[in-house]
Amino acid sequence: MKNLFKNLLKTSWQKSTIFIFLFSLCSAYGQEKQQDTTKVEKLDEVLVKAVRVTEKAPITHSNVTKKEIAKRNLGQDIPVLLNFLPSVVTTTDAGAGIGYTGIRVRGVSPQSTNVTINGIPYNDAESLGTFWVNLGDFASSVESLQLQRGVGTSTNGSGAFGASINVLTDAVSKEASGEISNSFGSYNTRKHTVKFSTGLLNDHIEIAGRLSNISSDGYIDRASADLKSYFLQASYIDTNTLIKAITFGGNEVTYQAWYGIDAETLANDRTFNFAGIYTDDDGNTQFYDNEVDNYSQDHYQLHWNQKYNNNWSTTLGLNYTYGRGYFEQFREDDDFSTYGFEELTVDGETVNTTDLIRRRWLDNDFYVINASANYKNDKLDMIFGGSFSHYDGDHFGEVIWAEFASQSEIRDRYYDGNSIKNDLSVFTKANYQLNENVSLYGDLQVRNVTYKTFGNTSDLVDFEVDKDFTFFNPKAGITYDLNTSNSLYFSYARANREPNRTDFESNPNIKPEQLNDFELGWRHKKGNFTFNANAYYMLYNQQLVLSGRLDDVGNPIRTNSGESYRLGLELEAIIPVTSKLTLQPNMTISSNKTKETIVSLNGELQNLGKTDISFSPDIVAANAIVFRPIDNLQMSLLSKYVGEQFMGNTENPDSKLDSFFVNDFNINYTLKTNSIFESIVFTGLVNNIFNEKYVSNGYFGSFDFEDPSSPTGSSTGFFSGFYPQATTNFLMGVTLNF
């Protein structure tokens, strides 16, 4: 049955196509928020109600709308578009925001950020990471997005350990429309998008879709990206019914830049890329032209929301995701033993090494079913439901060419493994209006995870995991309205989270992590002025933190840190200076520490005491100066400051990333027409206008070597890698709406 379902989808659906920071302090998207005075809930929003929170909930969050995203949507990935939200730090391997990008919230790694699309888990089931590169131009199909900081509310899929991002795709449109969008910019970057909607046919049915292609050479040498994607949905709506069938996905071909560069290269040639490097027979340095990640992913979702009366409604979501692809790599003088090859004798000489080209494959299926029921009256809004997902993934490697192929045959697999993961969670959550001033929030979740692997790894090491985890995640909070302009809230939330595949590969005895999150906040809104303050204390047990090291395919390696904490204060504001000028600053001040760090240095164990957690700057701030001289024109100066941070947990000076302060300029002009087009929108974006040479990401590690001069006979050496980001660059676009 599983194979029949999979084949049907493949054959039918697939083919169907400190500037002004210290003033007071917001999201870089807040201007539209102050104008949105209506509280009408769109029918589509019921699809994400189970994983989102309302404005009054005691959960720290930011909302971003389609209109806000469109201001800078010129091809860069979703993490980059969220860069100016509170506590957010983003990075990209290629340096220019297209390709492999990542987002950290409150210093927490991307693997600890839960992502859902229409309530369906998007995080990779094994790595727990989010590969935004597989969602080329997905921002063009987003209706709204909510970023919850901290544990947040119970969600589907892997637990949130720093943030959760839940995405709602395009809403049903009543009116027929079309859109052609084209943009171009630095590094030969181009984006081409076509969208359409039939509007409601017979007042009930809408069909809408999008085709996109994004390409870029990247700031880093050869770090090119070619992203082709699609989105198609058919919707049926009635007074009490919403049914949506959605398919989206695409193919990405990305030349790798995950190795980074060392400090010396950073100083002398910051765009250099080690990927694909080899030496030819004449001793000349060459680069393999197809050192690429080539991956396709297709998603099929079916959502059904039914309202029975004024109190009861239900939502059902089904999902199938098919992913497949490989990383291709040229290898010089690799040992036969790495591939199980037998020694050869050539011209009387023993041959046991060879140049070759290999592909490391992933081929996986992911099934999800979500179901929830909602009861609502004047005082109580309660949701209960559950989610079940099943992941079946194959990992295997092929040698597609070799100078000396030994006994190997075409399509031989030099390693082969399989992983099965099941994830079941049930939850109930409620908001209760106790009286005119006080509302209570409660949320209980039980989650069971089973993970099994068979076969071997790419290093030809047997890899067998058979783990079963059961987690209980309670959450509770209270909101108190002081008056119409001020409210206070307090919440407590617990989250537990399993290790990922790489964690088990690096340490079979690695432990799950647990987080107790305390949030205390004040929200103030009077007229167009908004000010929010939030204090948080995130207390971890066995937190899985980035060690700074990478494995041989660029995956970050994590380690348990024992007890650690994140203590911080987040401030954000919207300040209307005049009717045409608005300031939107935000700032996070934090302390992020492991309580005790024990490491091996020079052959001896040393206790370094309390140290900074890797990739956790003490200060992160942003600001937007938004100027609207006329109704159809908006100009924004967007500023971002990120304090210094360490790439490891030992506070080694060689692992330090310097602070950076980057400014972007964004302009939008809408020309209303009376011709074939309803409007023409011109958009411009100049990134890093002051040409800051900065690094936002990297890795750091250590190794022991024999040293006769050392009392212990060995010494410790260190290595580091850096991912430089682009200097001044631009993007320009024109969108035709009709």
Q: What are phi and psi of 109, to 5 degrees?
A: -65, 160
Question: What confidence score (pLDDT) does residue 5 get?
Answer: 38
Share of the chain above pLDDT 70, in %: 92
pLDDT tens, residue by residue, 718-732: 888 999 999 999 999
Q: What are phi and psi of 536, to 5 degrees?
A: -135, 150
Q: Cβ distance 139 to 73 under 8 Å?
A: yes
Question: What confidence score (pLDDT) does residue 236 get?
Answer: 96
Both tokens of residue 344? Answer: 């050869």
Share of the chain above pLDDT 90, in %: 75
Helical residues (DSSP H) of 17-97, grouped into ranges: 30-35, 66-70, 78-81
**95: amino acid identity, one letter:** G
**173: amino acid identity, one letter:** S
Q: What are phi and psi of 632, to 5 degrees?
A: -95, 5
Per-chain mean pLDDT for the chain:
89
Q: What is the mean pLDDT of residues 475-479?
A: 96
**Angle 444-595-150 from CA coordinates, rounded to 5°:** 30
Burial class (CB in 10 A: 0-12, 13-18, 19+), 38: exposed
Q: Cβ distance 98 to 189 under 8 Å?
A: yes
Distance of CA 678 to the CA centre of its chain: 34
Residue 48's CB is within 10 A of a number of other CB atoms, namely 25
Q: Cβ distance 228 to 213 under 8 Å?
A: yes
Torsion angle, alpha carbons of 126, 130, 133, 137, to 10? 140
Residue 337: pLDDT over 80: yes
Question: What domains are defined for the chain?
Answer: 18-737 (2.40.170.20)
Q: Which of 41-55, 153-167, 242-256, 667-681 has the lowest average pLDDT?
A: 41-55
Q: Cβ distance 200 to 237 under 8 Å?
A: yes
CA-CA distance, 676 to 669, in Å (whole number)? 18
Task: Report the range out of 50-54, 124-128, 635-639 with the highest average pLDDT.
Answer: 635-639
pLDDT class for 706, splitting at 50, 70, 90? confident
Closest to 27 measured CA to CA, from 67, 57, 64, 56: 64
Strand ranges, E, within 527-659? 529-541, 544-550, 556-560, 563-576, 581-583, 586-601, 604-612, 619-630, 633-642, 645-646, 656-657
Residue 1: pLDDT over 50: no
Residue 302: pLDDT over 80: yes
First to last CA, the chain: 44
Both tokens of residue 27? Answer: 């999201």
pLDDT class for 551, splitting at 50, 70, 90? low
Question: What confidence score (pLDDT) does residue 548 get?
Answer: 56
CA-CA distance, 264 to 266, in Å (whole number)? 5
Closest to 500 measured CA to CA, from 475, 474, 469: 469
Both tokens of residue 252? Answer: 């990405």
> Residue 552 has what DSSP assignment?
T
Buried b (16+ CB within 10 A) or exposed e, 548-573: bbbeeebbbbbbbbeebbbebebbbb
More confident residue, 112 or 116: 116
CA distances from 1 to 4, 6, 10, 299 (A): 5, 9, 14, 19
Residue 39: pLDDT over 50: no
Question: What confidence score (pLDDT) does residue 555 get?
Answer: 63
Q: Cβ distance 499 to 510 under 8 Å?
A: yes
> Residue 183 has what DSSP assignment?
E
The SS3 of residue 37 is coil
CA-CA distance, 157 to 116, in Å (whole number)? 8
Question: What confidence score (pLDDT) does residue 8 get?
Answer: 38
Question: What confidence score (pLDDT) does residue 17 get?
Answer: 34
Question: What confidence score (pLDDT) does residue 549 get?
Answer: 62
CA-CA distance, 393 to 325, in Å (whole number)? 12
Question: What confidence score (pLDDT) does residue 552 get?
Answer: 59
Residue 162: pLDDT over 90: no
Distance of CA 361 to the CA centre of its chain: 22
Residue 528: pLDDT over 80: yes
CA-CA distance, 108 to 615, in Å (whole number)? 8
Question: What confidence score (pLDDT) does residue 37 get?
Answer: 31
Q: Cβ distance 137 to 69 under 8 Å?
A: no
Question: What confidence score (pLDDT) does residue 276 get?
Answer: 94
Q: Cβ distance 174 to 152 under 8 Å?
A: no
**Parallel, antiparallel, or unpaired for β 205-216 and 163-169?**
unpaired
Find all residues with CB under 8 Å of 12, minimum gap 6, and list them.
none
CA-CA distance, 412 to 220, in Å (whole number)? 34
